[in-house]
Structure 1
Amino acid sequence: MTHYKSWAACLVITVLCSAAMLLPSNITDAMVLSEAGLANGELWRMFTAHFVHTNLWHFALNIAGLWLTWLLFVEYFSPQRLLLALAFSTLGLSMVLFATNNLQSITWYAGLSGTLHGLFAFALVLDVNKKRVTTYIIIIFGIGKLIFEQMGGSTQSTAELIGASVAINGHLWGAVLGVVAGCIVKVLELQQQFRD
């Protein structure tokens, strides 16, 4: 079965990120997530920050991660599911970063990586039912990566490459919100099955 709408969504996200790369810095500065910006009522930043990148390496790493996520899990990104997953992993992530004062410690947030962690975790929650060994291996590695980052594991080489600190809490909260969104979908789909 082909998933044209899902692949189209992946392409749209890629195009949004690509277009943001072409914008002048005074515009992209107004798109990143910052406490000062949100305090000034610039709520668009809660969405736009996830499509802005610090440099070409940051962009390339995230777009590669996006396409890898789609290659592995395209079947789980129907339009309805994707809207929920994106809402949690963009707007939800921005709200959590703001509410937990993470923006004070990192000053600003930009990039798709927190959203990618959310989409990846979302798809893994839905994939668990298939009981594939690879799914469990990916889950173990993913949890290990998040723990490594939270325990102070070195992200220095990545930070040097992307020209900014790695927002490890963005990764963590993105994954947590992706799991929540995946669980919501599973519950809703189970309720639908019982009604039918």
Structure 2
Amino acid sequence: MTSLGQYLGLSGVLHAVFAFWALKEALEGRRSSWLLVIGGVVKVGWESIYGAPVATAALIEANVATQAHAIGLIAGLGLALYYHYRR
């Protein structure tokens, strides 16, 4: 796998893990975690509409994988909902 492929995978997985734990905690009653869920959705939505910040691309010296972020977010939220309702 190329380094870009590894980067895409890591980026998506990080967004999925963040979304999963934020929504899991929110659904378990930790009200402040809803701010994390909303923040994640707004961040990925912003990236999808306007693109990633130029400063972020400069910092990591690569293009930002906004599609991987969106897929990871959706996967994490979906898994958290599945986990919550299966319990």
TM over 0.5: yes
1:168 aligns with 2:75: no
Q: Hey, what's the Cα distance between the residues in 2 that align with 1:132 and 1:188?
A: 19
User: Identity of paired residues, percent?
Assistant: 29
Partner in structure 1 of residue 17 of structure 2 = 119
Which structure has more relative contact order (CA 8 Å, sep 6+)? It is: 2
Which of the residues 109, 133, 137 maps onto 2:35?
137
User: Which amino acid letter does the alignment assign opposite residue 24 of structure 2?
Assistant: L
How many matched pairs?
87
User: Which amino acid letter does the alignment assign opposite residue 152 of structure 1?
Assistant: Y
Shift of 1:184: 2.0
Q: Hey, what's the Cα distance between the residues in 1 that align with 2:85 and 2:17?
A: 18
Say which SS state the counterpart of residue 32 (structure 2) adopts: helix
CA contact (8 A) 2:23 2:37 kept: no
Partner in structure 2 of residue 157 of structure 1 = 55
Shift of 1:153: 4.4
Pair 137,172 (structure 1): closer, same or farther in 2 beyond 3 Å = same
TM-score (norm 1): 0.40
Shift of 1:154: 4.3
Partner in structure 2 of residue 78 of structure 1 = none
CA contact (8 A) 2:41 2:73 kept: no
Q: Hey, what's the Cα distance between the residues in 2 that align with 1:124 and 1:160?
A: 28
Q: Hey, what's the Cα distance between the residues in 1 that align with 2:85 and 2:30?
A: 21
- The CA deviation string for residues 22-74 of structure 1, in whole angstroms up to 9 with x for no partner, is xxxxxx63x643xxxxxxxxxxxxxxx2xxx5xxxxxxxxxxxxxxxxxxxxx
Q: Hey, what's the Cα distance between the residues in 1 that align with 2:27 and 2:82?
A: 15
